[in-house]
Chain A
């Protein structure tokens, strides 16, 4: 037992070194980390209650008291932005988790078994993917009713086919590799082959896709909130803030600028991290022998 934990910590150490040396990933992590800290310590950092209205200080421009100004009902935008980070993370992480737990096993099993099951699953995925992301999400939310929970479900459904296809295509090529054939000879059962032998070789691809999906999820959620189908007021999501603020763009632009910057920055962070991770995890060009 001790032997195994020592082995694992060595593996993790090796992984961390590689991550540290990749500047893109590090930059991405710094940005993500920054927002994560905001999200975790939101109640401690935010000076005001994000729901507290102050009708005496509506449309106030940025000042010492309200660094990001106030909105149309006097709520402190700075505090709302910080709490918005919480919602942003909750959404993106949940979307990715749902996507992951449904698509990956489904694609793995379907590609391994092949035949009719594979065809059926793939055709369903094709149907979903043929409808543009956002449109599909809108339709689902419209059917289920607006709200954060339904928006999360809708977005993750619209992302499932991409991940499923990706996992399937990699799994299919791995299935043909000699080391999988060796498993048949050793009489391993299918479950073991799929999850202990094929899956580890796909993990890197999945992680890269997921880290990029974090960014896309945030944008899609913000879009949904923008048209009123996502996070509902008075919840302080950045997208909802954009939606509210768009009517007051000309005389109180701060209502829109700050949440907008946050969305852009966090998505940028996710993307940097995803790309950096892709560099680390994908096999680098191997040098030729003499």
Chain B
């Protein structure tokens, strides 16, 4: 007999909770997660602090191998073997997720904390119609019967811009285009009116104009409906458009975080600055900055700052001592010795 979680819509929650000091939607404290392979230990996530407030949209940026996807799967406690969460806390509305039973986690995942993935093909069951997959999510977390679930699904598909939703209910994933599949994933993610949606590179594999469609959809249907959003991507430009605050990660650690305007107009960490100048912009013609060398392999990290070999602000101290995050402005944290 399934236990259903008693549920209040997120907008109402925001009103209620805003009146008193509420715990943050998501708080990650000193989280470390590593992968154990043969004899190598890969420190994918290294003492990361991150939070998302009620109704906030937070961006997490970094290039491949920086640990952002591992962080996302850790939050859901879905980190794949041979990965393990080593230490730290994850608080979801004050509830410690790492101490929860699998049963409790099942109630939270897909319901109050949902995930939108990068590659919809890998996350949709090819043998089940898309409508049924969304219904499954709805019925798992809500005390409704199949007919009601189907009605809600069709309504959801329609509101997400899928033409002929009643007909499309029965389609299989391979019959849909990339953009359509991503809409289905978004439908699944918002079907139970979640508190927090984590989107891991949801637009990366899509064409430019379809990316724009999906982005606008996320703005309208996730942010617009009051859910908090943690948007993970390597494309900083997207974060400039939708986020309230931004984090940058490098080699498993957070290196900078600030409010969006401050972040983009006054970046302080050498990596962030170079990264921002490396983005080719179509509105302005300017030379592109290069970062020499390549990211370190996560099983062999140097004792000091991981960015040392590629940094142009480096000093003796950086080689030996790992910098910690310091607040260098209004809510602007940077982990560097030399700014």
Assess A/B contact in the complex (Cβ within 8 A): yes
A290, B66: Cα distance in complex, Å:
6
Flag if B65 contacts A290 (CB, 8 Å): yes
B residues within 8 A CB of A288? 69, 80
Closest to A287 in B: B37
CB of B68 closer than 8 Å to a CB of A:
yes
A287, B64: Cα distance in complex, Å:
13
A288, B37: Cα distance in complex, Å:
12
Query: Number of contact residues on A: which range applies?
Result: under 10
A10, B44: Cα distance in complex, Å:
32
A residues within 8 A CB of B268? none
A73, B185: Cα distance in complex, Å:
80
B residues within 8 A CB of A290? 44-45, 64-70, 252, 298
A residues within 8 A CB of B45? 290
CB of A115 closer than 8 Å to a CB of B:
no
CB of A289 closer than 8 Å to a CB of B:
yes
The minimal Cβ–Cβ distance linking A20 to chain B, given in whole angstroms, is 15
The residues in A between 268 and 290 inclusive whose CB is less than 8 angstroms from any CB of B are: 287-290
A residues within 8 A CB of B252? 290
A residues within 8 A CB of B298? 290
Task: With a 10 A CB-CB cut-off, give which of A287, A288, A289, A290 has the most chain B CB atoms.
Answer: A290
A112, B298: Cα distance in complex, Å:
42
Flag if A289 contacts B64 (CB, 8 Å): yes
CB of B35 closer than 8 Å to a CB of A:
yes
The minimal Cβ–Cβ distance linking B23 to chain A, given in whole angstroms, is 28
The residues in B between 38 and 54 inclusive whose CB is less than 8 angstroms from any CB of A are: 42, 44-45
A281, B68: Cα distance in complex, Å:
32
The minimal Cβ–Cβ distance linking A146 to chain B, given in whole angstroms, is 53
The residues in A between 234 and 290 inclusive whose CB is less than 8 angstroms from any CB of B are: 287-290
A290, B45: Cα distance in complex, Å:
9
Closest to B249 in A: A290
The minimal Cβ–Cβ distance linking A288 to chain B, given in whole angstroms, is 8
A287, B41: Cα distance in complex, Å:
12
A62, B45: Cα distance in complex, Å:
68
Flag if A287 contacts B35 (CB, 8 Å): yes
A290, B33: Cα distance in complex, Å:
11
A287, B42: Cα distance in complex, Å:
11
A288, B73: Cα distance in complex, Å:
13
A289, B44: Cα distance in complex, Å:
9
The minimal Cβ–Cβ distance linking A44 to chain B, given in whole angstroms, is 44
Closest to B298 in A: A290
A106, B298: Cα distance in complex, Å:
47
A residues within 8 A CB of B65? 289-290
Closest to B82 in A: A287
A residues within 8 A CB of B69? 288-290
A-to-B contact residues, CB < 8 Å: 287-290
B-to-A contact residues, CB < 8 Å: 35, 37, 42, 44-45, 64-70, 80, 252, 298
**What are 19 sample pairs from A and B whose C-beta atoms fall under 8 A apart?**
A287-B35, A287-B37, A287-B42, A288-B69, A288-B80, A289-B64, A289-B65, A289-B69, A290-B44, A290-B45, A290-B64, A290-B65, A290-B66, A290-B67, A290-B68, A290-B69, A290-B70, A290-B252, A290-B298
Which 10 A-B residue pairings sit nearest by Cβ, starting from the closest? A290-B67, A289-B65, A290-B65, A290-B70, A289-B64, A290-B44, A290-B69, A290-B66, A287-B37, A290-B68
